[in-house]
Structure 1
Amino acid sequence: MRNILLVSHGSMAEGVKASLEMIVGVQEHVHTLSLRPDGDNLQFEAELTEKMKALNGSTLIIADLLGGTPCNTALRHYLEDEEVTIIAGMSLPLVMEATLNPQATSEALIDLARGGIVDVKNKMIATEAEETKAAEEDLDQYKEFKGKANIVNVRIDERLIHGQVAGIWSTSLNTQRIIVINDEAAMDSLQKSSLRMAAPTSMRLSVLTIAAAAKNIQSGKYGKQRIFLLFKNPTDVLRYLEAGGELAAINVGNMSHKEGAREITKSIKVMKEEEAVFEAIAAKDVKVTAQLVPNDPVVDFMEKLRK
């Protein structure tokens, strides 16, 4: 796994790491180095050199400020080192994605960071207006597409829209619309607004109840759009199928640890009752796979589940 070194003026690097680990747990491959208020460029240079000698393999350096001493020092020493990547403009979303998705390129990480800057109030007002308009549509106008939904991926990910979905999966599949299918999210205006802000600006987003999703998708409402269906858990998938939705395959991405859960893959922990749900899904001739990011090999999830 690639090393990540956060470098900053003052305690920003330590603070970002602390916030990161509060959310995703201890990350031993994430390191920090600070230019202290009582220090100088020589002190920082010596400490950076010592720190980098201790790290083996490729390293991503994330600096707080373009043109600042931490960034400039790293650039001066590792500009021609092919094992070292340097990004300026540290933020928690950027560091989180770099930590959870070691395959992400520097370009993908930068795009994600840019997309995270939003005027929250104006965005909420705009998305509420879009939802009102969409709710008033007549589904009969889409009858020529009935039963022909162009579904490019179906994923279970309890985090719903986050970096892997927004920055990697959706982009690699040329997705035009993400549809989040979850009753709780669809009935919570704050959750819906948060999801809309997390989605790529180039893609449309729908946050629907299970019943509404099955109805809309089967009716052909989205025409020829390349749609990505996103579920929070396997129970919602089974309920979608029982409501008349049709799926050929699903990809299990992230299900975090819960008390009593069994680890199926590093990113998937399943409760006993969830195992029965997956069996019910598979019994409906739905292929169930596990794949964290597109570059990972596709794993037969049911085979691993039954071991």
Structure 2
Amino acid sequence: MKDIILVSHGDMAKGVKHSLEMITGKQKSVHVVSLKDDGDDKQFESDLLKIMSKINGKKLIIADLLGGTPCNVALTQYSEDEDVDIIAGMSLPLVVEATLNTQATTKNLIGSAKQIVVNVKNQLEQSTHIGEGNDIDLDKYAEFKGKENIVNIRIDERLIHGQVAGIWSTSLNTQRIIVINDEAATDPLQKSSLRMAAPTSMRLSVLTIKNAVKNINSGKYGKQRLFILFKNPTDVLRFIEEGGNINRINVGNMSHKNGAREVTKSIKVTIDEEVVFHKIAEHGVDITAQLVPNDPIINFMEKLDR
């Protein structure tokens, strides 16, 4: 794995790393060097050399500002070092991409970075309706009935966000994300927002619970690798009671609500939600908790019942 060194004026690099780890989990291969408020090029150079001396192999330095002291010092020290690449123009999306896509070249990263800044309101207005096509006869998919290729089922209150779009979907080679929530499926604004949040390379379906059961059970998605997202455990239970098949589910994010208690750092549940989880488990569903793929898998029900 290529080590990444974030360099900046003040605490920008530290803040970007903190935000990165909120999305991706701990990243031991990402390092930070800051030009301090009362520092100068000598202070920064000393700190940079100290970090670089501890790292072997290929390295990528991402600087905050072209022509700034952090970038200039890095260039002076490593312009002729073939094991060190240097990019200026630090942003969280760029750092996430560099961290997760270890095969990306500097050219790839710069190309991706050029597409990062968008007029979100304009894009929302232009976002097309997310539909399931005009297929009515689901019998045409009979050969795939009961053979749906589900790579993960997750409860995540935020639905499609950095961890889902940038980490889970990519690591599982997802081809279609299916969001199952009645409210989202009937709200054009929510559907457009989910489309913008989803990776452009992946298909997206936003479905009511009944339509999700019907479409998935019919084999409509063939051999596509499906990542299924629920917003809450109640929707999961309704999906099962409508005839949906779930063997295992991963609980990712459930935020604090009045009367909720903490099960894990990212999961807070109310008494009513505890009851729902027990009903889901009674259907033979293995319930785990795992924020990102490199975190350990936790037996959620054991944790819940402590």
Please give the TM-score of this superposition, normalised by the length of structure 1: 0.73
Change beyond 3 A, Cα 1:201–1:60: same
Residue 292 of structure 2 is aligned to residue 298 of structure 1: no
CA distance in 2, matches of 1:174, 1:294: 13
Give how far 1:296 is off: 2.1
The answer for the alignment partner of 1:71 in structure 2 is 71
CA distance in 2, matches of 1:193, 1:35: 42
Residue 259 of structure 2 is aligned to residue 270 of structure 1: no
Secondary structure at the residue paired with 2:268?
Answer: strand
Query: For residues 195-242 of structure 1, what are the alpha-carbon distances to aligned partners after superposition, in whole Å with 9 as ceiling and x for unaligned?
Result: 111111111111112222122111211111110001111111111112
Secondary structure at the residue paired with 1:274?
Answer: helix
Task: Flag structure 1 segments of 5+ consecutive residues without an equivalent.
Answer: none
Task: Map 1:85-234 onto structure 2 (within 5 A).
Answer: 88-93=88-93, 104=100, 116-118=116-118, 120=120, 121=122, 125=126, 127-128=128-129, 131=131, 134-140=132-138, 141-234=140-233
CA distance in 1, matches of 2:277, 2:218: 26
Task: Say how many residue pairs are matched.
Answer: 287
The answer for the alignment partner of 2:43 in structure 1 is 46
Asked if 2 retains the 8 angstrom alpha-carbon contact of 1:35 and 1:70, the reply is no
Change beyond 3 A, Cα 1:232–1:30: farther
CA distance in 1, matches of 2:202, 2:41: 43
Change beyond 3 A, Cα 1:146–1:4: same
Query: For residues 60-85 of structure 1, what are the alpha-carbon distances to aligned partners after superposition, in whole Å with 9 as ceiling and x for unaligned?
Result: 975323554333334556898x9x99
Change beyond 3 A, Cα 1:299–1:65: same
Secondary structure at the residue paired with 1:237?
Answer: helix
Give how far 1:181 is off: 1.2
Asked if 2 retains the 8 angstrom alpha-carbon contact of 1:118 and 1:197, the reply is no
Give how far 1:271 is off: 1.8
Change beyond 3 A, Cα 1:77–1:230: farther
Give how far 1:147 is off: 2.5
Asked if 1 retains the 8 angstrom alpha-carbon contact of 2:165 and 2:198, the reply is yes
Asked if 2 retains the 8 angstrom alpha-carbon contact of 1:60 and 1:85, the reply is yes
Task: Flag structure 2 segments of 5+ consecutive residues without an equivalent.
Answer: 24-29
Secondary structure at the residue paired with 1:180?
Answer: strand
- What CA RMSD, in Å, does the superposition of the two structures yield over aligned residues? 4.4
Give how far 1:184 is off: 2.1
Change beyond 3 A, Cα 1:112–1:195: farther
AA in 2 matched with 1:306: D
Asked if 1 retains the 8 angstrom alpha-carbon contact of 2:127 and 2:195, the reply is no
Change beyond 3 A, Cα 1:269–1:197: same
AA in 1 matched with 2:8: V
CA distance in 2, matches of 1:114, 1:156: 32
